[in-house]
Amino acid sequence: MIEQIELKNFRNLENYSIKLQKPLVIIEGLNGVGKTSILEAIYFTATTKSHRTSQEKDIIQYQKEFAFVKLKQNQQIHEIVLTPNGKRTWINKHEIRKISDYIGKFHVVMFSPEDLMLIKGGPSERRYFMDMELMQVSKEYLRALNTYKRILKQRNLLLKKISIDDDYTFLNIISEQLYQVGCIIYDEREKFIQQLNLKLSHLKTTYQLDISLHYEPHMNKDQWLKYLKTKQKQDILHQTSYAGIHKDDFKVLYNGLNAKDNASQGTIRLIVIELKLALLEWIKEHTQQDAVLLLDDVLSELDLERQKIFLEKLSKKHQIIISSALHIESSADLQKIVLTKEKDVYAK
Ligand SMILES: Nc1ncnc2c1ncn2[C@@H]1O[C@H](COP(=O)(O)OP(=O)(O)OP(=O)(O)O)[C@@H](O)[C@H]1O
Ligand SMILES: [Mg+2]
């Protein structure tokens, strides 16, 4: 459980600190006061990434040189300093130089409006989703992914240099390396999608919700290997690696139809929520840890009746932090944090 958060120059939050005392926390406040930024900061501390931008330096408050987050969870202190040149990480005051040694210590699952792109967006959004989740629970996956990216870059550089009449020996060696490490990623992604699918299948009987996922590799492994061994000319001609796990995707089916083209806005929201709940279970299975669930503005989109159902459906085991621009009734079992325009914060 996250017990304390401290932020400096994190977006509009210049100096912000809060203690979390209950498993259910609601961050309430007007538009633009920094609710999403607090959730972003928690996500950032767990993953070293932002859920809403790939331009991490955007997080740093305007005119400031760095952003800082400190988070205490289960007696562990995590700290990150972000500057335009990069980031440094500490756990319990010891600097962790390799990001791969830093991440995966505690787990979060975020649901934010951006996540609807998981269904509506392109394949890269879904690949990013698979990668982010898998790398948080598997160091082997993270290593494989980094190696794959490095070899792919090397291969693409070579493709720009050589011509069709050249000797392919070096290209073939690189291709073989790409394939070997690519297969690790392929297998892990395939397994991940299958395992999430199992978790989604119960919805059919309990809620008459028929949601299923299908891994869609760009090519299967045999086709890919064959391509690498026989179609070098094509890649040289186009100066880029046409085939590989960097083109993977997965399909989300709702009642047997592709949700991307068929599901309504509300249904897409529902599917993504269920996907995230399935993810919580999956993380538990693989890490024996209960991930913290971060819900950005999810409740504002639901009517009161649905809000109640949703909150009841959430497992009581997880710490849940919700942001909302709407007023939510206070109750004994939730902690409410009201953010005000003056960046002044008080907890009720
Ligand atoms: N780098 C930055 N430096 C300073 N302020 C920033 C920076 N990036 C964003 N902001 C501002 O921070 C404020 C808080 O944004 P945030 O998205 O956290 O608000 P919010 O409370 O979630 O609002 P909403 O209810 O509209 O979702 C916004 O006014 C935004 O313009
Ligand atoms: Mg927001």
309-339 residue pLDDT tens? 677 777 677 899 999 887 777 777 789 999 9
Task: Report pTM.
Answer: 0.90
Mutational pocket test of ligand 1: of 15, 33, 38, the residue with most ligand atoms within 8 Å of the beta carbon:
33
- Ligand 1 pocket residue status of 255, Cβ below 6 Å: no
Distance 181 CA to ligand 2 centre (A): 39
List the residue whose alpha carbon is closest to atom 7 of ligand 1: 11
pLDDT band at 301 (very low <50, low <70, confident <90, very high): low
- Ligand 1 pocket residue status of 37, Cβ below 6 Å: yes
Q: Which ligand 1 atom is nearest residue 9's CA?
A: 3
Mutational pocket test of ligand 1: of 8, 27, 36, the residue with most ligand atoms within 8 Å of the beta carbon:
36
Q: Among candidates 76, 80, 74, 75, which has minimal Cα distance to 95?
A: 80
Q: Looking at residue 346, what is its pLDDT? A: 45
- Long-range contacts of range 97-102, CB-CB < 8 Å, 24 or more positions apart? 99/48, 100/139, 100/142, 100/143, 100/146, 102/48, 102/78
- Binding residues for ATP are 29-36
Please report how the helices 123-137 and 265-287 are oriented relative to each other, as an axis angle in degrees rounded to 10: 20
Sign (positive or negative) of CA dihedral 41, 42, 47, 51: negative
CA 218 to chain centre: 22
pLDDT band at 344 (very low <50, low <70, confident <90, very high): very low
Task: Kindly tell me if the per-residue pLDDT of 347 is higher than 70.
Answer: no
Amino acid identity, position 67? A
Mean pLDDT confidence for 52-78: 95
Q: CATH 3.40.50.300: which residues of the chain?
A: 1-107+289-348
Paired with 78 in beta bridges are 71, 91
Q: What is the pLDDT of residues 243-261, one digit of tens each?
A: 999 999 999 999 999 999 9
- The span from the CA of 275 to the CA of 177, in Å, is 33
- Ligand 1 pocket residue status of 14, Cβ below 6 Å: no
Q: CATH 1.20.1050.90: which residues of the chain?
A: 114-288
Higher pLDDT, 344 or 274: 274
Residue written as token pair 């982010």: 132
Q: Which ligand 1 atom is nearest residue 339's CA?
A: 21
User: Residues with Cβ within 5 Å of ion ligand 2?
Assistant: 35-36
- Ligand 1 pocket residue status of 300, Cβ below 6 Å: no
Burial class (CB in 10 A: 0-12, 13-18, 19+), 86: exposed
Ligand found nearest the CA of 11: 1
**What is the homologous superfamily of the domain 1-107+289-348 according to CATH?**
P-loop containing nucleotide triphosphate hydrolases (3.40.50.300)
Q: What is the pLDDT of residues 81-135, one digit of tens each?
A: 999 999 999 999 999 999 889 998 999 999 998 899 999 999 999 999 999 999 9
Mean pLDDT of the chain: 91
Distance 67 CA to ligand 1 centre (A): 14
Q: Which ligand 1 atom is nearest residue 59's CA?
A: 1
Question: Do 102 and 89 contact (CB within 8 A), yes or no?
Answer: yes
**What is the homologous superfamily of the domain 114-288 according to CATH?**
RecF/RecN/SMC, N-terminal domain (1.20.1050.90)
List the residue whose alpha carbon is closest to atom 29 of ligand 1: 32
